[in-house]
A and B are shown apart, each in its own frame.
Chain A
Amino acid sequence: NAGVTQTPKFQVLKTGQSMTLQCAQDMNHNSMYWYRQDPGMGLRLIYYSASEGTTDKGEVPNGYNVSRLNKREFSLRLESAAPSQTSVYFCASSSGTVQYEQYFGPGTRLTVT
């Protein structure tokens, strides 16, 4: 039982490049989330998916797109990376929404130069 897995662990991009961050969970959870964490800013929600086939914007969605490929997988895409997107990205999942605990993946450390 791996929990929540994320790939890659580290990534360096040049401004304007694109990439997709992958996330998968094996806990049969309905809800999945993408957060970014910047120093002193805590965790900020980018997008979330309450169930397979649905997605919704969080606090900081600009510059990102998401795909809930199936119940297990939730990907985050940066179409044209900018230095302001340098951050640590965490994927999380939960059985339901706000009344359920969230399980986080190990994170992806992204640097945009």
Chain B
Amino acid sequence: GQQVMQIPQYQHVQEGEDFTTYCNSSTTLSNIQWYKQRPGGHPVFLIQLVKSGEVKKQKRLTFQFGEAKKNSSLHITATQTTDVGTYFCAGPQGGSEKLVFGKGTKLTVNP
């Protein structure tokens, strides 16, 4: 079945350093979504990318969707302690109504 892989699984950075997480799908995606889950919390939607090569920014966060629509990345510039959490990507499973989530990248930030 379709797989959505995320790397790295864990990332520890010093406050102020940049951070990037990568998401790769075994199949072409119609769209990709990103979620953030704070420790002890629930996933919260961040953004959706739909177009090939699309780049979207939210303050210090930059999201990219690959040209082939099989990969995506999230880059955080100058991390802050408020960025701590697990970041998940998710893509539709084939032509179904189901989203497949990656296993997430857990980010910790040392102040």
Contacts and interface: CB of A to CB of B under 8 A. Distances in A.
B45 A42 contact: no
A109 to B, nearest CB: 10
Contacts of A104: 42-44
Interface residues of A, number: 25
B85 interface: no
A99 interface: yes
A106 B97 contact: no
Contacts, number: 59
B73 interface: no
Nearest to A106: B42
B42 A105 contact: yes
Interface string A42-85: 11110010100000101100000000000000000000000000
Interface string B74-111: 00000000000000101011001111111110000000
Nearest to A54: B97
A103 B33 CA distance: 12
B42 A43 contact: no
Contact of B97 (A43, A98, A101): A98
B48 interface: yes
Contacts of B97: 31, 48, 50, 56, 97-98
B31 interface: yes
Given A40-B9, A41-B103, A42-B103, A98 B45 contact: no
Contacts of A103: 45
7 contacts: A42-B101, A42-B103, A43-B101, A45-B98, A99-B30, A101-B45, A106-B42
